[in-house]
Structures are given as C-alpha cells and as structure tokens.
Amino acid sequence: MKNILVLCTGNSCRSQIAQGYLQKFAGNEARVYSAGIETHGVNPKAIQVMAEDHIDLSAHTSNHVDEYLHIPFDYVITVCDNANEACPFFPGKVERFHENFPDPAKAHGSDDEVMNEFRRVREMIKIYSANFVANHINKLS
C-alpha cells in the first residue's frame, strides 16, 4: 500500500478535492492524506462540489503538514505553487509531483459563477487524480 500526501497552502479546497479523488480512484491500494502549509478549514463549497460527484468530504479536517512528517510517504503532490515552494523535506524515497491548479476560493461573481469555478477546478483535479492513480498506483498492481 502506498502513502500519498496532497499539499496546498491552506488545506481547504484543492488538496481536499484531490484527496477525495485520489482515494476514490486508488481504493485499497493507497492511503491518501491532505495537508496545508497553513490551515484554513475545509471550504464548504469544496464539500458541496464534491458531494455533487458523490464524494463526501464533510468529515474532512484541515490539517497542517507538520502533523504528517512521521508518515513514510511514497508520493507528495503539491497542488499550488506556494506549497511547492514551501514543501518541507520528507526523508526516504519520496517522489514529488507538482501541478498548479487555480484556487477556486478566489473566484468572484455570483454564487453560480463561483460554484462553476469550483466545478471547473474539480474537473481538472479529477482528471489529474485519475491519471496519477493509473500511472503510479494501478500499474503497480
């Protein structure tokens, strides 16, 4: 079983969404964690947009990366440039990956426009997560 950490700035949106999809696609082949360089609380819109795709994030918490330094991660995925630059050193044979997704929490406009941005970013993360699992987890089985 592989250990995967998804890291972003506040562990409120992008890393939470990625954790949900990575765990869904990897199933029992991986344990997926998410954390932030800071903790901002899980964004209610991230919970809502994932519920639309039948993934429940309602019990997720916003965690600081330091809480997971003891876990032997196989993969660390940073999902924003800030986290990539501030990512701590993880000992061992850790493979790092980076993809800078837009922050849907910074979207402006009507409620519908903001939710549409969350959906757009969700779909980007879903595709990335499916490809990551296909290329790094499932091919190991």
Complete edge-to-edge strand list for the sheet that includes strand 2-8? 30-36, 2-8, 75-78, 95-98
Task: Exactly one of 87, 94, 124, 130 is catalytic; name it.
Answer: 87
pTM listed for this prediction: 0.93
Task: Exactly one of 8, 35, 42, 55 is catalytic; name it.
Answer: 8
Residue 125 clears pLDDT 70, i.e. is over it: yes
Enumerate the domain spans of the chain. 2-140
For domain 2-140, give the fold. Rossmann fold (3.40.50)
pLDDT at 140: 55
Query: If you search the block for the tokens 């890393």, which residue do you land on?
Result: 15
**CA dihedral of residues 4, 44, 113, 105 (deg, nearest 10):** -60
Q: Is 13 a catalytic residue?
A: no
Task: Exactly one of 18, 80, 105, 137 is catalytic; name it.
Answer: 80
User: What percent of the chain has a predicted confidence (pLDDT) above 90?
Assistant: 82
What DSSP letter does each residue of 67-135 carry, written as one string?
GGTTS--SEEEE-SHHHHHHPPP--SS-EEEE-----GGG--SSHHHHHHHHHHHHHHHHHHHHHHIII
Q: Is 80 a catalytic residue?
A: yes
pLDDT at 141: 47
Q: pLDDT tens digit string along 62-93?
A: 999 999 988 999 999 999 888 778 777 777 78
The mean pLDDT of 15-25, rounded to a whole number, is: 97
